Amino acid sequence: DMAAVGGRAPLTAKWTAAADSAGVISSVELVLSFESGCTGGAAGDLGMGIQFSDNCYRHEDFTCAGAITTSRKPGNTAVRAPGVIATVPLSEEVIERVAEAIGMPADAVREVNLYKDGDVTPLVCGGNVIGSERFNWNVPSMWASSRAAWHVDARRADISAFNTANRWRKRGLAMMPIKYGMALGDFHIAASVRIMGSDGSVQVVHGCCEIGQGLNTKVAQAVAYRLGCPLDAVVVGDTSSMNGPNTTLTGGSGTSETACAAALDACAKLVASLAPYRSPDWAQTVSAALDGGASLHEAGWYQPHPAKPFQYATQGVGAVEVEVDCLTGEIQISRADVMMDQGSPLNPMIDMGQAEGGFVMALGYYLTEEVLWADATNAQINLGTWQYKPPAVHDIPLEFNVSFLAKTPNTSDYAVLGSKASAEPVMALGAAAFYAARAAIKAARADAGETGTFDLEAPLTVQRIQQACLVTAQQFKLK
């Protein structure tokens, strides 16, 4: 498969920015180029990359444009968080470089440029009113509370002392936010709910695919909640276009909430049919309804008609601390902290697993999963895990803390039971590991006498880390 089919489209970008001495970045221009291989599959990466390119920051003058390029390599296609996982770090790169240029801490530059209530995102990024009832905004408060709770300033001081005392091992810490807009306009979802027999058994079927994201569990819970029946009475049937016709897609992290919405639509009709027969006992309610001739089979449909591309945003902040070996380039993630605003989660445990898994998956993109090509043949030359390195057990942070913002239901008109999407929204926070490594490399370069700015490519493999640390044989001296 790896030899015949491409993967995530690589991004090459150019940018310019203007900022004042207080760190306010007034102007940003981003130009994107996604390599699509021999097909046009990277068009989705380009579209989403542009829409998410502002991340959490307001700039008076902001533009982002780009194109896809083709080559003789296998065709690339959309992969989890397409485009977003590449352009959000580009926004963070602007922050980092501006901070270096004006001599301010990068965190301070981030804080001064965060969107505030009443700001409007650029049209190419959705044109949403930040902090409105339909697009709530919790990043500034999450940033402030997390920075204090995670003791970021004290840890930076400890890192500085460690780096001063150690020549060949360096530590770094980076903190960043994420705004992941959810576009639900393409989700057209069918579902049906059937109450079968006087024992109150319930079957729900929908047109979406359970692929490990916990979709069926969430749908079953939503049905039990709305009907007022025991959860163990609900069975989720197999996905079939016969039972869930005209469903458009499974993907984009919006399937769980939209499938729940379709099932809830069917349940609302059943609740009305059951109302005259309702009693505290579910089985008795169903038996009475059947005796009364009620139809207990209803179809549900979800098809929103939003006026804007994004109906809300899942938001979060993350901080990552790493230690690198300057001699070998090896990197260890010592600690990662993540806080996500999931609204009122449809299932907190499932969403927690999605947040943890999405973050670790992203670590591969930023640190290890380098794709190598033969120049003469355009063939991929690292076709197995001996050379191509997805995240493994030793890549997981030694201390990994993930939490959800409490008691903040999603207030959007399109919210399903106050929830927000999980899975892809957390992924770009993995870039904090990249920038934490950059901070460690910067300390190593300073010891080597190089204090100027420098470029780094992702993934930040051990080879790239070692080379960026500027270690030479002349630096090895016996004391």
Of 197, 183, 213, 176, nearest to 438 by C-alpha is 176
Query: Is 56 within 8 Å of 179 (Cβ atoms)?
Result: yes
Of 309, 302, 260, nearest in space to 54 by CA? 309
Note whether 137 and 420 are within 8 A (CB). no
Which residues are CB-contacts of 299 (< 8 A; sequence separation ≥ 6)?
190, 191, 192, 266
Integer CA distances (angstroms), 458 to 325, 337, 438, in order: 18, 21, 11
User: Does 450 score more than 90 pLDDT?
Assistant: yes
User: Distance between CA 353 and CA 136 in Å, rounded?
Assistant: 24
Instruction: Please tell me the distance from the alpha carbon of residue 221 to that of residue 234, in angstroms, as a whole number.
Output: 8
**Range in 61-70, 185-194, 238-247 the model is least confident about:** 238-247
Q: What is the pLDDT averaged over residues 348-367?
A: 98
Identity of the amino acid at 80: R
Query: Residue for token digits 């001699």?
Result: 327
**β-pair partners for 29:** 16, 63
Q: Is 400 left (phi over 0), alpha (psi -120 to 50) or beta?
A: beta
Ordered domains of the chain (ranges, CATH): 1-130 (3.30.365.10), 141-183+310-479 (3.30.365.10), 189-302 (3.30.365.10)
Could you give the 3-state DSSP secondary structure of residue 254?
coil
* Residue 479, pLDDT above cutoff 90: no
In this structure, the number of other CB atoms found within 10 A of the CB of residue 41 comes to 21
Region of 99 (left: φ > 0; alpha: ψ -120 to 50; beta: rest) is alpha
pLDDT at 442: 98
Q: What are phi and psi of 32, to 5 degrees?
A: -110, 145
Quick one: DSSP state of residue 56?
T
d(CA 269, CA 296): 9
pLDDT confidence of residue 112:
98
pLDDT band at 355 (very low <50, low <70, confident <90, very high): very high
Label residue 471 by pLDDT band (50, 70, 90): very high
- Taking only the tens place, the pLDDT of each residue in 399-429 is 999 999 999 999 999 999 999 999 999 999 9
pLDDT for the residue numbered 478: 81
* Model pLDDT for residues 260-301, shown as the tens digit of each residue: 999 999 999 999 999 999 999 999 999 999 999 999 999 999
DSSP3 helix / strand / coil % (the chain, rounded to 5): 35, 20, 40
pLDDT tens digits for 304-334? 999 899 999 999 999 999 999 999 999 999 9
Q: pLDDT at residue 4 above 90?
A: no
Single out the catalytic residue among 298, 424, 450, 457: 424
The whole-angstrom separation of Cα 32 and Cα 273 is: 54
* Cα radius of gyration (the chain): 25
DSSP 344-411: S-SSHHHHHHHHHHHHHHHHIIIII----B-TTT--BS--STTTS----GGGS-SEEEEEE-SS----
Q: Are the C-beta atoms of 150 and 337 separated by less than 8 Å?
A: yes
pLDDT in tens, 100-135: 999 999 999 999 999 999 999 999 999 999 999 989
Residue 477 pLDDT exceeds 90: no
β-pairing verdict for 11-19 and 25-35: antiparallel
Arithmetic mean of pLDDT over the chain: 96
* Contact by Cβ (8 Å): 371, 387: no
Residues across the chain: 479
Residue 26 has pLDDT above 80, yes or no: yes
At residue 476, the pLDDT reads 87
Tokens read off for 244: 């869930």
pLDDT of residue 275: 98
Handedness of CA 372, 72, 251, 2 (dihedral sign): negative
424 counts as catalytic: yes
Instruction: Quote the CA–CA distance of 64 and 453 in Å, as a whole number.
Output: 24
d(CA 404, CA 145): 13
Query: 30 CB contacts (<8 Å, ≥6 apart)?
Result: 13, 14, 15, 53, 63, 64, 65, 66, 87, 90, 91
What integer pLDDT is reported at residue 197 of this predicted model?
87
In the predicted model, what is the mean pLDDT of residues 190-207? Answer: 95
Peptide bond into 459 cis (omega under 30): yes
Average pLDDT over residues 451-464: 96
pLDDT, one tens digit per residue, over 59-102 is 999 999 999 999 999 999 999 999 999 999 999 999 999 999 99
279, two tokens: 């009693």
Residue 93 falls in which region: left (phi positive, over 0), alpha (psi -120 to 50) or beta: alpha
How far apart, in Å, do the first and last CA atoms of the chain sit?
A: 53
Does 473 have pLDDT greater than 90? no
Beta strand 189-196 with 297-302 is antiparallel
Q: How many CB atoms lie within 10 A of CB 384?
A: 7
pTM: 0.96
pLDDT of residue 242: 87
Contact 161, 420 (CB under 8 A): no
Average pLDDT over residues 36-58: 97
Q: Is the dihedral of CA 277, 280, 284, 290 positive or negative?
A: positive
Query: Mind giving me the DSSP string for 196-237?
Result: ETTTTEEEEEESS--SSSSHHHHHHHHHHHHHT--GGGEEEP
Could you tell me how many helices (H) and strands (E) the chain has, helices first? 11, 11
